[in-house]
């Protein structure tokens, strides 16, 4: 991570590491936290719940997988950040649930930056309008934008997706839609170096840290 940041003229501490513990048991999550990996990521509310309850206070939990509205209540209760907001309906539901919990919920808007029909996320040309609406939902804080690279093409194949998200973020800042410190959640074990070169502020890494999932 540090080398990729330096290659692109950035300071290494400009990029945060989100350790993705999905698919691993609570002991792996505990070990990661003991090594000062404070930010832990999970894909599914149901799988994460047991780990979060078992570990108690300490880690900052991020939901990085697709979230259905019927899971919004429990997600708002369990997580500190949601990386996969892709509709106004979901944002409104999360805001209502977070307000009931008396908490502020950091959210990344998930953007579809490829033409793969199976990919989740809002269309790029609808992103700023969604962010603008979310700014009126007081319990939510729009932390930035998120995307997933294409399934094929390797790390370099993902570069155009990451570059597109950075440009979209920069346009949002220029228009005053996004805050000046809006982040970019992009890059996983196979392509995080390219993501950092293209401006990622948080990378979501699992197998490169913990090995193949069981």
**How do residues 179-204 score in pLDDT, each as one tens digit?**
999 999 999 999 999 999 999 999 99
For the chain, the domain total comes to 1
Q: Does residue 66 lie in a domain region?
A: yes
Nearest to 38 by CA among 21, 14, 23: 21
Nearest to 111 by CA among 100, 102, 122, 119: 122
Q: Does residue 201 lie in a domain region?
A: yes
The answer for 102, left when phi > 0, alpha when psi is -120 to 50, beta otherwise, is left
Q: Does residue 181 lie in a domain region?
A: yes
Instruction: Give the model's confidence band at 99: pLDDT under 50 very low, under 70 low, under 90 confident, else very high.
Output: very high
Averaged pLDDT of the chain: 95
pTM for this prediction: 0.95
Q: Does residue 174 lie in a domain region?
A: yes
Q: With 80 as the cut, is the pLDDT of residue 116 above it? A: no
Task: Name the CA radius of gyration of the chain, rounded.
Answer: 16
Whether the CB-CB separation of 13 and 206 falls below 8 Å is answered with no
What pLDDT is attached to residue 154? 83
Q: With pLDDT > 90 as the criterion, what percentage of the chain qualifies? A: 92
- CA pair distance 35, 84, nearest whole angstrom: 27
CATH number for the domain spanning 107: value is 3.20.20.10
Q: Does residue 133 lie in a domain region?
A: yes
Residue 177's domain comprises: 14-209
What pLDDT is attached to residue 213? 86
Q: Does residue 214 lie in a domain region?
A: no
Q: Does residue 115 lie in a domain region?
A: yes
Q: Does residue 67 lie in a domain region?
A: yes
Mean pLDDT, residues 4-21: 96
């Amino acid at each position: 991570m540090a080398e990729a940041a330096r290659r692109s003229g950035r300071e290494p501490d400009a990029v945060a590491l989100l350790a993705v513990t999905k698919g691993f048991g609570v002991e792996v999550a505990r070990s990661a936290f003991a090594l000062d990996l404070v930010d832990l990521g999970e894909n599914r509310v149901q799988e994460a719940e047991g780990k979060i309850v078992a570990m108690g206070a300490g880690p900052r939990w991020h939901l990085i997988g697709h979230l259905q509205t019927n899971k919004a209540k429990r997600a708002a209760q369990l997580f500190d950040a949601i990386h996969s907001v892709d509709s106004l309906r979901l944002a409104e539901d999360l805001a209502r649930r977070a307000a009931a919990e008396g908490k502020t919920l950091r959210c990344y808007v998930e953007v579809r930056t490829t033409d793969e029909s199976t990919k989740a996320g809002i269309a790029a040309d609808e992103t700023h309008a969604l962010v603008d609406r979310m700014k009126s939902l007081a319990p939510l804080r729009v932390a930035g934008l998120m995307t997933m690279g294409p399934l094929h093409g390797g790390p370099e194949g993902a570069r155009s997706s990451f570059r597109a998200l950075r440009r979209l973020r920069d346009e949002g800042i220029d228009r005053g839609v996004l805050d000046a410190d809006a982040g970019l959640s992009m890059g996983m074990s196979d392509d995080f170096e390219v993501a950092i070169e293209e401006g990622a502020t948080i990378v979501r890494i699992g197998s490169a840290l913990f090995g193949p999932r069981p």
